[in-house]
Structure 1
Amino acid sequence: MGFWKSVSEDIRNVLELDPAARSKAEVILTYPGLHALWAHRIAHGLWTRNVKLMAKLIAQTSRWLTGIEIHPGAVIGERLFIDHGFGIVIGETAIIGNDVTIYQGVTLGGTGKEKGKRHPTIGNDVLISAGAKVLGNITIGDCVKIGASSVVLKDVPSDSTVVGIPGRVVIRNGERVKQHDLDHRFPDPDRECQERLERAVAQLEDKLASLEKRMEEKTHDSVLQQPHE
């Protein structure tokens, strides 16, 4: 597909998917996700032609202007919809299929341990919610939904819903895998540590109160047992 045809399709895709989009002019002028995507197409074309420095400069300029970082080596399919988009990072060897939606704060990154293909491959018709992290050379199948703030470290089969830290499949082919509530509430290590400390303090207070009561009872019994003059 040619560049300008892709641009036209991108605009139409936003108008279809975003209820806040009111006109083509508004979409063209005010949607940073589109600006980042268009800049990436130019940078990627240069990257594949081995004009790597210019490709990186375009990618960096786009990052400064949009808050979205897409490495020029990443391969992106048709009709990618980046909603809001601030804080998105897409790594060099990431591959994204067609009709994918990505929200703000998403990372398609590496784990820091691999060489070569070290970023995820995303299938078609995938939804990646805000703040999700998809890391490493893993494959996300078609028609997958990844919940907000999830951390996905393993392959995900098609037609699945993934939530949690680490990400786990809770729905597959329309049926629940386990009885988890899909409510976007995830573990909070700081809160859990605080709750453990509060429980430990409460137990110590109970033990101290019990010891004080026993000491008072012993003292009282000792006074009663003393001979009267």
Structure 2
Amino acid sequence: MFEIPEAKRVRREDLYSPQSSPRSSPDPELTELFHAHIQQEFEPTTVVIEEAQHILAPIGKQKDDNSPELEFRLFARTKNDAQVAPQKIRLDSPTAENGEPGFINPERDKSYYLADPSSRESLEYDAVAVTGNEVSKWARKPCPGCVLPWRVTTITMKDVTVHLGQPEGDAGPRKRRRLGKKGRIVMRKRRDARNAERDLASRLAAEEEAAEREKRTRRNREKKVKKRERDKAKKNAGTEGEAGVEV
């Protein structure tokens, strides 16, 4: 606080309002005049106070004895202030009555909790209330508005197909479960084996087809060579015959 240049120190005594100045003494002449008017208008009476004090004294004493008192120090005292006595707060609680514990009115008539229905409400309940026999009778009666024969599919025992050896619960589609790690490895090996067999079969078929094609080509070439040799032999035989005739 002292670091702020414009700060102002305020004492605790400055927080309380200043004491009011003492009243001036009344005028004695006005006081005598006032008492004279009062004596003329009212008659003096005496009041006995001793009996009231005698009756209230033990009650107040008993109240002080039974009621607990707690002391609270509401404000901390400073170094300059004198020692201030703590304020006392008295806590009064009602005395318990001597009796059995329980509800004030343990047993009451049912009319206190349940009210009889009025005649109008009874008529409304009777108009909408339905018995079980009436519900059974209504269930047996056909409802014309709900009959839709073109939307009804009649299923007979002849239309039901039962497969022997198949449990009844397995008729519907079964959910496919994912295999474990070992199962996936086995399936992968089987797939690789099938692929290898398919590749081998295709390679063997290609080799066999190539061999068959080469065999046909060689056979055709041999046929052509033999035909050429026969034609050449025929030509040579024809030239030799012509030469012998000329001689």
Structure 1-normalised TM-score? 0.25
Q: Which structure has more RCO (C-alpha within 8 Å, separation ≥ 6)?
A: 1
Structure 2-normalised TM-score? 0.24
Determine which structure has the larger strand proportion and give its number. 1
Determine which structure has the larger helix proportion and give its number. 2
